[in-house]
Amino acid sequence: MHQSDILSVKQRFGIIGNSPELNHAIQRAIQVAPTDMTVLITGESGSGKESFSKIIHSLSHRKHGQFIAINCGAIPEGTIDSELFGHEKGAFTGAHDSRKGYFEVTTGGTIFLDEIGEMPLPTQSRLLRVLENGEFIRVGSSKVQKTDVRVVAATNVNLMEAVEKGDFREDLYYRLNTLPIYVPSLRDRGDDVLLLFRKFASDFSENYRVKPVELDEGAQALIKKYRFPGNIRELKNLVEQISLLEENRLINAEVLSTYLPDSSRNVPAIFQQENTQGLNERDLLYQILFDMRKDMTELKKLVVSILNDQQDGAKIIRENQELFEDIKYRSSLPEVKRPGSSAETSTENDSPFILHDNQNTESDEDEEAYYEDVYHEPEEEEENLSLENKEKELIIKALRKNNNKRKYAAKDLGISERTLYRKIKQYEIEA
């Protein structure tokens, strides 16, 4: 597929951005559009999933048919069946007349089911029948009717987790997931946030005949670091606020920071007093884990010290050595009895934590060799480096196994495609 095709679609549907993930999603939408395949669009709320449903409909042979977008989470559970499939007169209280549902009036067109994960289980069963046989039954009727509708669904939740919890039908998930399209979040699109900022600022200036706001270098760096949990919708609101309220049209980082939510409220309390500048969410999580590990090690040292002073302490330590593997260093525990030392120095001759025999004349070199042999443990930095290397190796193997198809590689690794994209970028893997 030529880049000109993707550029043409961007211009036609007003899509701004050049990130590889965005271009890949557009490419898949263009490829699947001429078919009648069911499509599942995934991505965070506000990332622009509905735009992709319109691309698919407009480039299909159904483009002259009707297109209806339905938010499944906004329709009450008691009326969603009637909305989608229609009802007969008297089917329920208030049903004074018969009514056609969306699947009946949209035949020959496309239905976009947004937030499909919020659809009730009984309605999921009805939808599955439509997808498999093109058949449905109105509420309160026994007559089977036919429909020719293409379904494009979207969700911002992990449907596989919903399947495991029993909140979503597994057979419906696989029927919907014929060809998935992942729409990247704004935080994963790099410099696209700056392009979108300029687009929204320009739109506002045209509507209200004012000079568009601009960001200086410091503000650009700041806005690229912000995570935008509300994605494009949140960015648009931000630009409109700044455009309306700021008299100075060149925005610096200090001014911009007053419009961004206080991220420190989302940081654990132990870090709110510390300097977290330049740390992202993952870095903060690692720091918490390392501090927890350090605290646990100190606690173990204290327990060993207390037990060593107890009558049966050495025996307890010996029987639970696996609990104290990470603190078996000479500097942190009572000295280990060296080979050849007198048994009279301890009440527990076979304990690995008995006191040092000061009369022993063995060399320090032999002593260090004994510690190394019994308690050798890799240093923490080497262990962490090894974990990162192993993770990178597994990702490379999964990509090679699946011919660089990231969807299947992510499934083999047990992670989401979004996480895999981030890992590939983090480790600079060519895929």
Alpha-carbon distance of 110 to 89, in angstroms, equals 27
pLDDT at 223: 95
Cβ(212)–Cβ(201) under 8 Å?
yes
Neighbours of 53 (CB within 10 A): 23
Q: What are phi and psi of 41, to 5 degrees?
A: -105, 125
For 309, 313, 328, 332, 348, the CA distances from 303, given in Å and listed in that order, are 10, 10, 13, 12, 18
Alpha-carbon distance of 17 to 189, in angstroms, equals 8
SS3 249: coil
- More confident of the two residues 178 and 204: 204
- More confident of the two residues 363 and 408: 408
Asked if pLDDT for residue 21 goes beyond 60, the answer is yes
Cβ(326)–Cβ(297) under 8 Å?
yes
pLDDT at 351: 42
- Token pair recorded at residue 233: 């919708």
Q: How confident is the model at residue 423 (pLDDT cuts 50, 70, 90)?
A: confident
Dihedral sign (CA 336, 340, 346, 351):
positive
Task: Cite the residue boundaries of each domain of the chain with CATH code 3.40.50.300.
Answer: 3-184
pLDDT at 398: 83
Q: Count how many residues are written for the chain.
A: 431
pLDDT at 414: 76
Per-residue exposure over 394-414, b if at least 16 CB sit within 10 Å of its own CB, e if not: ebbebbeebeeebeebbbebe
pLDDT at 377: 43
Q: How confident is the model at residue 327 (pLDDT cuts 50, 70, 90)?
A: low
Task: Cite the residue boundaries of each domain of the chain with CATH code 1.10.10.
Answer: 380-426
Class for the domain spanning 3-184: alpha beta
Alpha-carbon distance of 146 to 152, in angstroms, equals 18
CATH-assigned architecture of domain 188-261 = Orthogonal Bundle (1.10)
Share of the chain above pLDDT 70, in %: 73
- Token pair recorded at residue 250: 């060149």
- More confident of the two residues 230 and 357: 230
- Token pair recorded at residue 124: 């999921």
Please state the separation of Cα 54 from the chain's center in Å: 25
pLDDT at 105: 94
What's the pLDDT tens digit per position in 24-57?
999 999 999 999 999 999 999 999 999 999 999 9
**What single DSSP character describes residue 137?**
E
Asked if pLDDT for residue 319 goes beyond 90, the answer is no
Asked if pLDDT for residue 411 goes beyond 70, the answer is yes
DSSP H helices, 47-158, are 49-58, 80-85, 102-105, 121-133
- Token pair recorded at residue 189: 């699109």
pLDDT at 189: 94
Cβ(314)–Cβ(348) under 8 Å?
yes
Alpha-carbon distance of 141 to 9, in angstroms, equals 43
Task: Please enumerate in sequence order all residues whose Cβ is within 8 A of that of 42, keeping only pairs 6 or more positions apart, or say none.
Answer: 49, 154, 155, 156, 159, 180, 181, 182, 183
Cβ(178)–Cβ(39) under 8 Å?
yes
Cβ(148)–Cβ(108) under 8 Å?
yes
Task: Please enumerate in sequence order all residues whose Cβ is within 8 A of that of 411, keeping only pairs 6 or more positions apart, or say none.
Answer: none
Token match 């996480």: residue? 419
Task: Cite the residue boundaries of each domain of the chain with CATH code 1.10.8.60.
Answer: 188-261
Please compute Rg for the chain using Cα positions. 31
Task: Please enumerate in sequence order all residues whose Cβ is within 8 A of that of 114, keeping only pairs 6 or more positions apart, or say none.
Answer: 49, 50, 69, 70, 71, 72, 73, 153, 154
Task: Please enumerate in sequence order all residues whose Cβ is within 8 A of that of 309, keeping only pairs 6 or more positions apart, or say none.
Answer: none
Q: How confident is the model at residue 326 (pLDDT cuts 50, 70, 90)?
A: low
CATH 1.10.10, domain 380-426, yes or no: yes
Q: How confident is the model at residue 390 (pLDDT cuts 50, 70, 90)?
A: confident
Alpha-carbon distance of 124 to 169, in angstroms, equals 7
Strand partners, 112: 69, 152
| CA angle in degrees (0–180, nearest 5) for 127-131-137 | 50
Q: What are phi and psi of 80, to 5 degrees?
A: -65, -35
